[in-house]
Amino acid sequence: MQDTTADRTVLRGDCDNCFGLCCVALPFARSADFALDKPAGKACPNLGGDHRCGIHARLRQQGFTGCTVYDCFGAGQKVSQVTFGGQDWRTAASGEHARRMFDVFPVVRQLHELLWYLTEALALPVARPLHADLRRALERTEELTLLPPDELTALDVPAHRQDVNVLLLKTSELARAGIRGRKKERRGADLMGARLKGADLRGANLRGACLIAADLTGADLRGADLIGADLRDTDLTDADLTGAFFLTQPQLNAARGSAGTRLPESVTRPGHWTAGV
């Protein structure tokens, strides 16, 4: 099997090779994140005929912050170019082609998110005892992404996610065991708006924690497990996330931070952190 996941860049959205799927397939509701309502399967009015966003450089100013947070983990180009062989939904002979494409996209997006986690787990040297199992899970997940459209839409993704999650939990335990000191257990904790400025959260388990608008300025999050943590509006200014794992780009994009925030290598500093918007 071709190893398409060794390079993590294939697990990031590549809009040049996508038919604007996230801007059509997904629904959004008028809110602080989106300036208008849009049902699933209907193209956003800002989407151009070239599948590019007409307001890309002004998304935040025009009330589309949600679009700057989102990433498809590379599912858009996979569905556009592989699953549907480069056949554009706009020029397809029947509307059925478009409908199937829009149904498949969220499924592949979930699988690609799992590929992201598995790839990250395989990059952790302390997870070496699990590498064989992780590699098998990664190959199986990659195989699933290559199924034909009808099989993808019938796939039991939650069951597969559960299998993968068992491995990710074991990976987390191994990774955090290597961090010195007492590790905080905050799995699923409601820490919305919590004042955690300068907190010692080294090796903490923050799986699924709600950290919306929490103050984590200057906090030490080295080696913390952040899988599924809700970081919307979390203030990470000058926090240290070196070695934090299972942190995705969409999570980070939703947070606030600064040039002084230290990040793991797997993610990039969101442009809005330093642009002041």
Distant-in-sequence, close-in-space partners of 76: CB < 8 Å, separation ≥ 6: 13, 14, 15, 17, 18, 19, 21, 22, 105
Q: Say whether residue 64 binds ligand SF4 (CB under 6 A).
A: yes
Q: Are 161 and 114 in contact (CB under 8 A)?
A: yes
Amino acid at 66: G
Per CB under 6 A, does 75 bind ligand SF4? no
From the list 39-47, 73-81, 91-99, 126-134, the region that binds ligand SF4 by CB under 6 A is: 39-47
List the Cα angle 133/135/141 in 5-degree steps: 105
Q: Give the C-alpha distances (Å, rounded to integers) separating 202 from 30, 106, 270.
A: 38, 34, 23
15 binds ligand SF4 (CB under 6 A): no
**What is the C-alpha to C-alpha distance for residues 183 and 153, in angstroms, rounded to an integer?**
40
- Does the footprint of ligand SF4 cover residue 46 (CB under 6 A)? yes
67 binds ligand SF4 (CB under 6 A): yes
In the complex with ligand SF4, the residue whose CB is nearer, 40 or 123, is 40
Q: Which is nearer to ligand SF4, 109 or 222 (CB)?
A: 109
CB 227 within 8 A of CB 208: yes
Give the number of C-alpha atoms closer than 13 A to the C-alpha of residue 28, restricted to the C-beta side: 21
Closest contact distance (angstroms) between CB of 12 and ligand SF4 is 15
Stretches 43-51, 129-137, 167-175, 266-274: which one binds ligand SF4 (CB under 6 A)?
43-51
47 binds ligand SF4 (CB under 6 A): yes
Nearest distance from C-beta of residue 272 to ligand SF4, angstroms: 14
CA-based torsion, 122, 72, 206, 201: positive or negative: positive
- Does position 219 bind ligand SF4 by CB under 6 A? no
> In a 3-state reduction of DSSP, which class is residue 224?
coil
Piece in contact with ligand SF4 (CB under 6 A), picked from 40-48, 107-115, 167-175, 253-261? 40-48
Q: Nearest approach, Cβ of 144 to ligand SF4 (angstroms)?
A: 27
Amino acid at 83: T
Start-to-end CA span in the chain (Å): 43
Alpha helices in 35-184 (DSSP H): 65-69, 75-77, 95-122, 131-145, 149-153, 157-177
Residue 137 contacts residue 187 (beta carbons within 8 Å): no
Position 72 contacts ligand SF4 (CB under 6 A): no
Subset of residues 157 to 176 that bind ligand SF4, contact rule: CB under 6 A: none
Compute how many other C-beta atoms are within 10 angstroms of the C-beta atom of residue 184: 16
How near is the Cβ of 39 to ligand SF4 at its closest, in Å?
Answer: 13
Examine residue 108 and tell whether it contacts ligand SF4 (CB under 6 A).
Answer: no
- How many residues touch ligand SF4 under the rule CB under 6 A: the total is 8
From 47-55, 76-84, 188-196, 234-242, span contacting ligand SF4 (CB under 6 A) = 47-55
User: Which residues of the chain form contacts with ligand SF4 (CB under 6 A)?
Assistant: 23, 44, 46-47, 53, 55, 64, 67
